[in-house]
Structure formats: structure tokens, C-alpha cells
């Protein structure tokens, strides 16, 4: 089994620094055959990529994980896998019953006795019931139903507010890439001071940050931006500096990749993995449709040199500041 670097979250759970993202089985990235997806997961685990990220709202993702996990449990000497899920409720009552029901639903779908990690999302900061929900989640953690209590898409101000109430948060899942470096502005410092790991998404821009788009004319139509990720991150590229600057970034990354004998995706992943407070990078996997296991395994071993970083910075310095244009982490979900 390949040596994939690990990180231990503050509640004790050890996860891979490269995680497998399952939004890609939700249906928003093209049709998915759940049986094929379950079968495809074995190759990730065999490669040492044992940590899977999903959500209650990613279509059949939790069930797919559950089926795979059920098969593993009945096998002899099966490797341990980690299932990180999210709870993304619509704003509404957040009493203990509501919260417990959501946790039990994920446990049952994922076929686990307790959740390895529950990442909580909230749509509207005006509605302060996120604090009530987190209070109950923290109690359920004390009761042993959740190992790591975590967040996704919370900004630094609310993360501070939550932590100041004595709620122990292990990680915050945020968008972080060469295009979107907002987490470095504020979030990073707070996370470092409070032993909170950032788990990142969008690090490959849904596939835009790869050789596939080097030298390509700008994709604009829905037919070209045919997954939810491609259209989401193409919007970020537009806000960041546009297609011409993005092409300069891709060719710079390609030159770095060629120096290291690796891929553009490897450079983009390693750049983010090397940032302070980043615990892991989640790479989206169209399970059973398109796999990049062997290439992505190389990411962790790339050693970016000062001249590589200098060349990359030369392009990034000419981009717009997304903190000013969009706001802090997760603000794009609240506008």
C-alpha cells in the first residue's frame, strides 16, 4: 500500500491528507451508477486513499459509502476507512430531536456506529440557530455519536464566535486553490492558534487546473462546463482575473510540473497542501467514471522549490483579491 501522509484531527481521528471527494456522485456531475461507484472505491483504499468526504445532500453518496463500508466490515483484515460527512440543513428548528435525527440518518446510511466526522454547514448567519444546532451536536459528540465535530464554509468571525462558546471544532472545510486563496487572509491564523485543520475543496477547480485546459479557448457554454464543479470554479476564475491570466497560470504550472516530472494537478494540490493550517486536500472523484488515482498519489511527494513558488507568485500577484470581491470563506453561499 502506498504511503499517503496522514493528519490527526484534534478529536483523535487520523485521516489521509489527500481525501476522496464524493460530491461527484451526487448526479450534478453526470449520471452515476451506484454499483459501479461502490466497486470503484476499492481501488482508492488499495492505493492508501482511505478517507472519503461526502454530505447528506450529495444524492446517494452516504449510501454508496455505506454499501462499501458494509462490504469491508464483512471482509477479513479489511483496512480502516474514514467517512467524513456533512449536515447541510435548511434553516428551521434546531432542537435536540431534529439534530439527533439528522445524525442518526447519516449513521444509518453510512452503516457506522458513530460518525467519524460531522461537518456542519449553515446558510444564514442572521438566523442564530446555528449555535443551538452546534450545542446539540457537541452534546451528541460527548455521547459518543460523533468523533470529530467540524464545520464547512464558516467564515473567520463565526468560527471565532463558535469556539469562544467552548465548542470544540476540529476542522473547517473551505474552498482553497491557486485561484481562491482567501483562507490565507484570516482563517489560517485563527485555525493555527486553535488547532483547527482546514480541509480544502476546489483545489483543482473541478478539473480546470490541469493540462486538459492548457491552451484551450475559454469554455463558456453549459455543454462545455458540464459538471457543477466546472461551472462553479469557472465563475471563480472569471472573478479572479479571467481566462487569459488563467492560461498564464496554467502554463507556469505546466513548466513547474515538467521540472518535477509530475502533472499540473500535482503542483496545484501540493501548493495547497503546503499552506499553513491545511490538514488535507479533497479531490473530487467521479467514482466509476473517471479515476486519477495514480496521478494524484504523486502530489504529496512533489517538493516545490523557491523558484517554482516565485514563478507562480508572479502570476498570482496580478489577480484580483477575492477577499475583497467575494468576502471571507463561504461568503459566496450567502449572497
Ligand X SMILES: NC(=O)c1ccc[n+]([C@@H]2O[C@H](COP(=O)([O-])OP(=O)(O)OC[C@H]3O[C@@H](n4cnc5c(N)ncnc54)[C@H](OP(=O)(O)O)[C@@H]3O)[C@@H](O)[C@H]2O)c1
Decide: is 265 part of the binding site for ligand X (CB under 6 A): yes
Choosing from 69, 153, 156, 172, the residue that interacts with ligand X (CB under 6 A) is 153
CA angle (50, 56, 58) in 5-degree steps? 75
Q: Which residue matches cell numbers 499552506? A: 275
> Contact 260/298 with Cβ under 8 angstroms?
no
- Lookup: cell for 2: 502506498
Report, in angstroms and rounded to the nearest whole number, the Rg of the chain calculated over CA atoms.
19
Decide: is 173 part of the binding site for ligand X (CB under 6 A): yes
What letters, b where the CB count within 10 A reaches 16 and e where it falls short, cover 288-323?
A: bbeebbeebbbbbebebeeebeeebeebbeebeebb
Choosing from 13, 23, 82, 150, the residue that interacts with ligand X (CB under 6 A) is 23
| Closer Cβ to ligand X, 227 or 307, answer by number | 227
Give least dist CB 100 to ligand X, A.
23
- Lookup: cell for 83: 467517512
Q: Which part of the chain contacts ligand X (CB under 6 A), choosing from 33-41, 240-248, 271-279, 288-296?
A: 288-296
Task: Find the residue with minimal CB distance to ligand X.
Answer: 21
Q: What is the per-residue binding string for ligand X in 301-330, x denoting contact by CB under 6 A?
A: ------------------------------
CA dihedral 332, 28, 49, 269 (to 10 degrees): -40
Decide: is 279 part of the binding site for ligand X (CB under 6 A): no
Q: Burial level of 165, CB count in 10 A (0-12/13-18/19+)?
A: exposed
Q: Which part of the chain contacts ligand X (CB under 6 A), choosing from 9-17, 108-116, 198-206, 310-318?
A: 198-206
Find the binding residues for ligand X in span 49-68 (CB under 6 A).
53
**How many residues form the binding site for ligand X (CB under 6 A)?**
27
Choosing from 4, 9, 13, 24, the residue that interacts with ligand X (CB under 6 A) is 24
| Closer Cβ to ligand X, 2 or 307, answer by number | 2
Helix (H) or strand (E) holding 120: strand 115-120
Binding site for ligand X (CB under 6 A): 21-24, 53, 152-153, 173, 201-207, 210, 229, 263, 265, 282-284, 286, 290, 292, 295-296
Amino acid at each position: 500500500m502506498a504511503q499517503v501522509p496522514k493528519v490527526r484531527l484534534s478529536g483523535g481521528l487520523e485521516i489521509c491528507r489527500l481525501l476522496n471527494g464524493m460530491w461527484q456522485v451526487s448526479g450534478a456531475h453526470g449520471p452515476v451508477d451506484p454499483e459501479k461507484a461502490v466497486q470503484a472505491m476499492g481501488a482508492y483504499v488499495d492505493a492508501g486513499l482511505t478517507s472519503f468526504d461526502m454530505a447528506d445532500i450529495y444524492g446517494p453518496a452516504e449510501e454508496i459509502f455505506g454499501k462499501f463500508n458494509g462490504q469491508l466490515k464483512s471482509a477479513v483484515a479489511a483496512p480502516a476507512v474514514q467517512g467524513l460527512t456533512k449536515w447541510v440543513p435548511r434553516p428551521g428548528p434546531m432542537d435536540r430531536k431534529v439534530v439527533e435525527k439528522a445524525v442518526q440518518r447519516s449513521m444509518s446510511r453510512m452503516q457506522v456506529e458513530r460518525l467519524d466526522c460531522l461537518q456542519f454547514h449553515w446558510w444564514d448567519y442572521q438566523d442564530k440557530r446555528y449555535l443551538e444546532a452546534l450545542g446539540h451536536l457537541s452534546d451528541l459528540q460527548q455521547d459518543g455519536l460523533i468523533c470529530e465535530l467540524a464545520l464547512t464554509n464558516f467564515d473567520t468571525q463565526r468560527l471565532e464566535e463558535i469556539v469562544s462558546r467552548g465548542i470544540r471544532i476540529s476542522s473547517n472545510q473551505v474552498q482553497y486553490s491557486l485561484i481562491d486563496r482567501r483562507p490565507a487572509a484570516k482563517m489560517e491564523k485563527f485555525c493555527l492558534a486553535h488547532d483547527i485543520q482546514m480541509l480544502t475543496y476546489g483545489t483543482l477547480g473541478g478539473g480546470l487546473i490541469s493540462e486538459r485546459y492548457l491552451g484551450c479557448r475559454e469554455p463558456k457554454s453549459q455543454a462545455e462546463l458540464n459538471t457543477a464543479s466546472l461551472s462553479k470554479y469557472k465563475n471563480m476564475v472569471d472573478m479572479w482575473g479571467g481566462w487569459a491570466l488563467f492560461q498564464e497560470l496554467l502554463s507556469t504550472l505546466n513548466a513547474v510540473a515538467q521540472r518535477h516530472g509530475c502533472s499540473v494537478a500535482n503542483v496545484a494540490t501540493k501548493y495547497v497542501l503546503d499552506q499553513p493550517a491545511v490538514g488535507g486536500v479533497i479531490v473530487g472523484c467521479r467514482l466509476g467514471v473517471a479515476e486519477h488515482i495514480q496521478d494524484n498519489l504523486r502530489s504529496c511527494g512533489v517538493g516545490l522549490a523557491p523558484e517554482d513558488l516565485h514563478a507562480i507568485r508572479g502570476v498570482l500577484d496580478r489577480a484580483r483579491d477575492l477577499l475583497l470581491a467575494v468576502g471571507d470563506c463561504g461568503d459566496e453561499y450567502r449572497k
